[in-house]
Chain A
């Protein structure tokens, strides 16, 4: 069993038009920059993207949006100081937005990976974001029914991995990685270091390899506020 793939381009060769693609990251931490660049190069169109945000600046997800390749984005916090590509597309009616409270977004992704059909959550009850949704009172508390979000691909950034796909992460770059890995048909992870089987402490593996289909080694980069730089 060997999940190592030579480069990001090969790892995403089979993304089809209309695919749902999860992209990890919160801010630039955990953003799989190389995979997003490969997705831009790959050319698939009409994508549904699941991410916490809707792109920053002109790179990564923002560039994918700017290239007109995204039909719909499911996220919790699209509007930011540097989300100008999303802002323009949204105001022009060229991109569909499904706005989801961050914890519901995480739990909907988790539910998809865990085989849960739907769940009742208190978050959002009585607000605009629950309008039209089924609700229920359970033990005196009000809940909203939310459905899972599954994907065709998940693009995530990890730190170390082995050929079975076992992964560890680095600090807050972990964020959506472990749950997105469980919720996609094909999960692709970048790592900065590939190690021999057994080298990762089994007590400290964060994402067990069975959730990961492809592992790509990319050069280590330091994450900085405005993007990335080579360390």
Chain B
């Protein structure tokens, strides 16, 4: 089956981020999106540990661990960037001041429920961090994830079986196969990998895919 690479996925997400947007990129796959934002497009990156205007990783040897992102990796600050404390940082999210938040996920449901913080396994130690705040705070929450689990099960599901992070909060899903908008009773196809057969996409997606506006 044709599929996008992780970088192609990141480039596809980046294409949808407009100039002037304030964006939070979650840990993991979404972090790659920063590498594909064209330099001439002014986008402000927010990190929940208290930085707006985050720049790329510093050159080796110039890391300063007082300047890190939410994944605790060293970053830089662009001119005009600023720092603030945690309550202000989460006010930016919860208060709806971020335009876009891109998150990883275990599962997304047809109505946009998100599960991305806990597998619910009995021996797992739960850790939530800022996931729940991010999920419900931004004007738009997008998910970037593999289309299926390692076992081939669809990660887009009628109802999440993993513990929820937020209810009806996801607007759009980017996978290695397609870009899909949450439609309530299914998902709406925005775009799919070139050469991919629609029926093949539907077979690995556990909810109905609508091909056009109804």
Q: Which residues of A contact B89 (CB under 8 A)?
A: 106
From B48, B77, B118, B136, A123 is in contact (CB under 8 Å) with B136
Binding stretch for chain A, among B36-44, B66-74, B189-197: B66-74
Of the residues B48, B86, B164, B167, contact of A179 by C-beta under 8 Å: B86
Q: List CB contacts (< 8 Å) of B95-134 with chain A.
A: 118, 123-133
Q: Does B4 contact A (CB under 8 A)?
A: no
Asked if B68 contacts A29 (CB within 8 A), the reply is yes
Inter-chain CA distance A124–B164, complex, in Å, is 9
Residues of B contacting A127 in the complex (Cβ-Cβ under 8 angstroms): 132, 163-166
Q: Please tell me if B90 contacts chain A, counting CB pairs below 8 Å.
A: yes
Measured between alpha carbons, how far is A165 from B52 in the docked complex, in Å? 27
Question: Assuming the A-B contacts A172-B51, A174-B50, A224-B65, are A103 and B83 also in contact, with contact meaning beta carbons closer than 8 angstroms in the complex?
Answer: no
Shortest C-beta distance, A173 to chain B (Å), equals 4
Q: Which residues of B contact A79 (CB under 8 A)?
A: 124-127
Number of residues of chain B lying within 8 A (CB) of chain A: 42
Q: A83-115: contact bitstring with B at CB < 8 Å (1 yes, 0 no)?
A: 000110011000000011111111101100000
Give the shortest distance, in Å, between A206 (CB) and chain B (any CB).
Answer: 8
- Measured between alpha carbons, how far is A173 from B64 in the docked complex, in Å? 11
Pair A123/B164 contact, Cβ less than 8 Å = no
Q: Which of A78, A128, A172 contacts B50 (CB 8 A)?
A: A172
Q: Say yes or no: A27-B65 contact (C-beta < 8 A), given A103-B94, A128-B163, A172-B49.
A: yes
Question: What's the minimum C-beta distance from A198 to chain B, rounded to whole angstroms?
Answer: 23
Find out whether the CB atom of A106 lies under 8 angstroms from the CB atom of B87. Answer: yes
Expressed in whole angstroms, the minimum distance between the Cβ of B30 and any Cβ of chain A is: 17
Contact: A122 with B136, CB < 8 Å? yes
Shortest Cβ distance from residue B93 to the other chain A in the assembled complex, whole angstroms: 6
Contacting pair B65 A109 (CB below 8 A): no
Asked if A109 contacts B66 (CB within 8 A), the reply is no
Say yes or no: B86 contacts A102, CB within 8 Å: yes
Q: Please tell me if the beta carbons of A102 and B130 are within 8 angstroms of each other in the complex.
A: yes
A132 at the B interface (CB under 8 A): no
A176 B51 Cβ-Cβ under 8 A? no
Q: 8 Å CB contacts to B: which residues of A172-206?
A: 172-179, 206
Pair B164/A126 contact, Cβ less than 8 Å:
yes
Minimal beta-carbon separation of B12 from chain A (angstroms): 29
**Contact between B163 and A171 (Cβ–Cβ < 8 Å)?**
no
What residues on B are CB-neighbors of A147 within 8 Å?
A: none
Which residues in B have their C-beta under 8 angstroms from that of A103? Answer: 48, 86, 90, 93-94, 130, 132-133, 137
Check if A171 sits within 8 Å of B90, measured CB to CB: no
Contact B87 A101 (CB under 8 A): no
Question: Is the Cβ of B166 less than 8 Å from the Cβ of A28?
Answer: no
- With a cutoff of 8 Å between Cβ atoms, the chain B residues found around residue A91 in the complex are 123, 125
Knowing A103-B93, A123-B133, the reply to whether A225 touches B86 (Cβ < 8 A) is: no
A7 at interface, CB cutoff 8 A: no
Given A101-B130, A102-B48, A102-B130; A176-B85 close (CB under 8 Å)? yes
A-B pairs with lowest CB-CB distance, top 10: A103-B90, A103-B133, A27-B72, A223-B65, A106-B86, A79-B127, A102-B130, A101-B132, A110-B87, A77-B129
